[in-house]
Amino acid sequence: MAEDTDLEELTESGIITAFTMGVRLRTRYKHLISRASVLRPNIRTTVWATDCPRVKDTASNFILGFWGADHVKNPRPYLEIVSEDPRAGADTLTPGRTCLANGLDENNGKANGYRFMSQYRATYLPPVRKRLYGQTGIDFSDAEIYAMQEMCGFEILVRGNSSWCDVFTRDEFLAFEYARDVLHYYRAGPGNKYAASMGWLWLNATKSLLLEGEEGGTLFFSLFVILFHVIKYIC
């Protein structure tokens, strides 16, 4: 029951954060909304979001914050939901999930990121495990300790502070940082065979919009936000 309550609290915080971000951007860039209306008076701005419920809620509340309550009466933005189902084919919003080869290739795809990250993780966590075992009597796994380090950043983002940050030393967090670098390098960066192909989708779409100029649109918003690993199971 406590876990459900905590999750509900994090979800509410995310909704408030999305709305607040929309308000802040509206305060700073309100002139862009007016300019978009003048340049393309009959075209509604599109906000893209994945089909994960949390991301859709984030997008909806961002829209409410950025466009204000007026968009309910005179809907400017259009929320377009992009499926994360691999059967839908690769797209610019979720290339990592919709590129089948990236997921199926155990030797050159995203699996390498997790494999190499786990190998490096095993080099710095044994002393941490020993210390935590001495303090708690619990023999935590590498994955559990790694999740504790992740919670430091996640909770700071949502709550502004996190007791998990005090569990580890600065050097242990530096090692954690490098573990994340290894993960991203091989999961979706230069160490991934399919990174260039997946990145081409973004590059080609951006190039096409630049060539179209104002005819291609005036405002673009793309939301693909998963702040907590637990959200993956919700989505």
Answer whether CATH 3.40.50.1240 is correct for domain 2-85+200-234.
yes
Answering whether pTM is above 0.85, one says: no
Is-contact 113 193, C-beta < 8 A? no
Q: How far apart are CA 30 and CA 72, in angstroms?
A: 17
Is-contact 57 25, C-beta < 8 A? no
* Residue type, position 80, single letter: E
**31-59 in b/e burial notation, b at 16+ Cβ within 10 A?**
eebeebbeebeeeebebbbbebebbbbbb
Portions of the chain given CATH number 3.40.50.1240 = 2-85+200-234
CA 224 to centroid of chain Cα atoms? 5
pLDDT in tens, the chain (235 residues): 344 455 455 556 667 788 888 888 888 887 777 776 666 666 677 788 888 787 888 888 888 888 876 554 445 677 888 887 877 777 777 787 778 888 899 999 999 999 999 999 999 999 999 999 999 999 999 999 999 999 998 888 777 889 999 999 999 999 999 999 999 999 989 999 999 988 888 888 888 888 887 777 777 777 654 333 333 333 3
Q: Under DSSP, is residue 223 helix (H, G, I), strand (E, B) or coil?
A: strand
